[in-house]
């Protein structure tokens, strides 16, 4: 056993969350290739930007590491609102081997994760207090001379929050990492791993190159809508959905939880309520 004063080794943010990322390859009707990013939110469900795959043929999904997925398993779920630049992919993506068999430094107590946790910040709760929050963005921009897609992670911060007058009906987080093609559909996380938003666009003028625009991440409320509308309760994100249910007018009967899990969630909720009194 190691001495008690030796800290438990932990993975870097890149190593911790990168297994949840996938490279997305597509083609349009003329065969022109396209690229983007997707990430795992639990139970095989992946999130990406709608424009990455809509009207295109999905040619490949490549996990960043350890994961396995088959193209034949993919079912695309779009939001009811066509203006929402998000899509959820139902797949057989699995990180079981990684979670059960991969070891680090010969230690069994290194924290690992197999999905991204979605933040509970609904649109009405978002204000400028989040400006300068430190974030990490992941994506697959093309890298000259790289023989294969390479996951890129960039640290930065939220520089502004806007309510655009065209396009999205939800707030956009303007982030400091440079906007690049290939980041579309990628997650923007807080330093402790909560999903702040999904990279959907580079805000440009006069059809300039993406690198000359502002990187924009769509807030998470539209993603919650997709999950609630389609009764998708992925992994630990179902716990957050339970917490949000009153705001969303969702009944307990809508949640396919075991009695034990439902009781645990209720106990946690009561503790939060009492703690706020």
Contact call for residues 197 and 218 (beta carbons, < 8 A): yes
Instruction: State pLDDT tens for residues 19-38.
Output: 999 999 999 988 899 999 99
pLDDT value for 219 = 95
d(CA 277, CA 274): 5
Write the DSSP symbol of residue 253: G
pLDDT band at residue 2 under the 50/70/90 scheme: very low
> Which tokens hold the place of 139?
């994506």
Write the DSSP symbol of residue 178: P
Instruction: State pLDDT tens for residues 201-221.
Output: 776 555 655 555 678 899 999
**Element at 41 (helix H, strand E):** strand 33-42
A 10 A CB-CB count for 82 gives: 9
Q: What is the pTM assigned to this prediction?
A: 0.86
């Amino acid at each position: 056993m190691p001495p008690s004063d030796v800290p438990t080794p932990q993975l870097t943010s890149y190593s911790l969350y990168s297994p949840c990322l996938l490279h997305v390859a597509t083609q349009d009707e003329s065969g022109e290739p396209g690229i983007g990013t997707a990430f795992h939110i639990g139970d095989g469900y992946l999130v990406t930007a709608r424009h990455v795959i809509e009207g295109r043929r999905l040619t490949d999904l490549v996990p960043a590491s350890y994961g396995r997925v088959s193209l034949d398993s993919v079912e695309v779920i779009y939001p009811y609102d066509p203006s929402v630049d998000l899509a959820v992919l139902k797949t057989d993506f699995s990180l079981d081997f990684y979670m059960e068999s991969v070891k680090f430094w010969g230690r069994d107590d290194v924290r690992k994760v197999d999905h991204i946790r979605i933040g509970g910040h609904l649109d009405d709760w978002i204000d400028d207090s989040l400006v300068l929050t430190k974030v990490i963005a992941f994506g697959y921009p093309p890298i000259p001379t790289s023989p294969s897609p390479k996951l890129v992670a960039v640290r930065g911060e939220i520089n502004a929050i806007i309510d655009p007058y065209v396009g999205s009906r939800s707030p956009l987080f303007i982030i400091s990492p440079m906007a690049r093609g290939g980041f579309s559909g990628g997650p923007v996380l807080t330093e402790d791993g909560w999903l702040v938003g999904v990279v959907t666009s580079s805000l440009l003028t006069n059809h300039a190159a993406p690198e000359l625009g502002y990187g924009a991440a769509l807030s998470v409320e539209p993603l919650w809508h997709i999950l609630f509308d389609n009764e998708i309760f992925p992994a630990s994100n179902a716990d957050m959905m339970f917490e949000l249910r009153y705001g969303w007018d969702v009944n307990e009967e809508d949640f396919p939880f075991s009695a034990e899990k439902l009781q645990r969630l209720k106990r946690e909720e009561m503790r939060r309520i009492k703690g706020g009194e």
